[in-house]
Chains A and B, each alone.
Chain A
Amino acid sequence: MEGYDFDEIDFFRRVALSGARALLIGRRALVLLGLPLLTADYDFWVHIDDAAVFNAALYPMGFVATRTPEEARTKGRYALENDEHVDVLVARGVPTVDGVRVAFDDLWARRRTLAVTPGVEVSIPCISDLIATKRFAARPKDLEDIRLLETLKSEDEAS
């Protein structure tokens, strides 16, 4: 069913204007870097204190949170849903499968920003940090993404 037009630029504009410390992670971030991957949803890692602001920014687009910010702080994640699905991570830090703790504040300090359109920027982790986020779960598809990111990283380092 189509039924509705999602304005993706408006979505990112609202996130940017909200002031929430929000990092786009997951495959959509890889697409921005130049990897043509299939992905269904949006994944954000939002600072634990900014979930309410993030939710409020997207509420006018019909996004409803599956948990209150207080519940989300306890669980570490929630989703925003309308016809689109946005997974939101709100932990201060997440361990990788190897037991290395990845801290939001460190990723935020090293973030890259990309202009989605003039005046609308999206923040993503640097490539090394994106690789770290792909080590949160031992999924086969994350292994594939890590190999792609390693290639981009080696290209970046060579140039």
Chain B
Amino acid sequence: MSRAIQPATDATRARLKALADKPLPLEEWRRRAAIPLTDDERERTLELVRWFRRRYPTAAERLAYARRAYKRWARPAA
């Protein structure tokens, strides 16, 4: 039986935020920052940008999308 994916709980979101905000040791940060972009990565990013700009051509629409997306992500788990 498949199990539906549930929205993240507040605790999970807090843990994810703490992980994303925790600074890396400087050497590790420099090592990662020095990794060059690949053509594939660049193309995937540009594809996403093209879709987003096409779907939401104005700044107001992009901002509204970001608010909706965050609300969806932050919706309390059932």
- Which B residues are CB-close (under 8 A) to A143? 24, 29, 32-33
Size of chain B's interface in residues, with CB distance under 8 A?
A: 35
A139 and B37 contact, Cβ closer than 8 Å, known pairs A34-B52, A38-B69, A39-B66: no
Is there contact, CB below 8 Å, between B63 and A116?
Answer: yes
A31 and B73 contact, Cβ closer than 8 Å, known pairs A143-B29, A148-B45: no
Once bound together, how far apart are the Cα atoms of A35 and B60, in whole Å?
14
Q: How far is the CB of A87 from chain B (nearest CB, A)?
A: 12
Is there contact, CB below 8 Å, between B66 and A37?
Answer: yes
Is there contact, CB below 8 Å, between A8 and B63?
Answer: yes
17 A–B contacts from the bound complex (CB under 8 Å): A8-B60, A31-B65, A32-B63, A34-B52, A36-B48, A40-B74, A97-B29, A98-B30, A114-B59, A116-B59, A140-B19, A140-B24, A143-B29, A143-B32, A147-B41, A151-B45, A155-B49
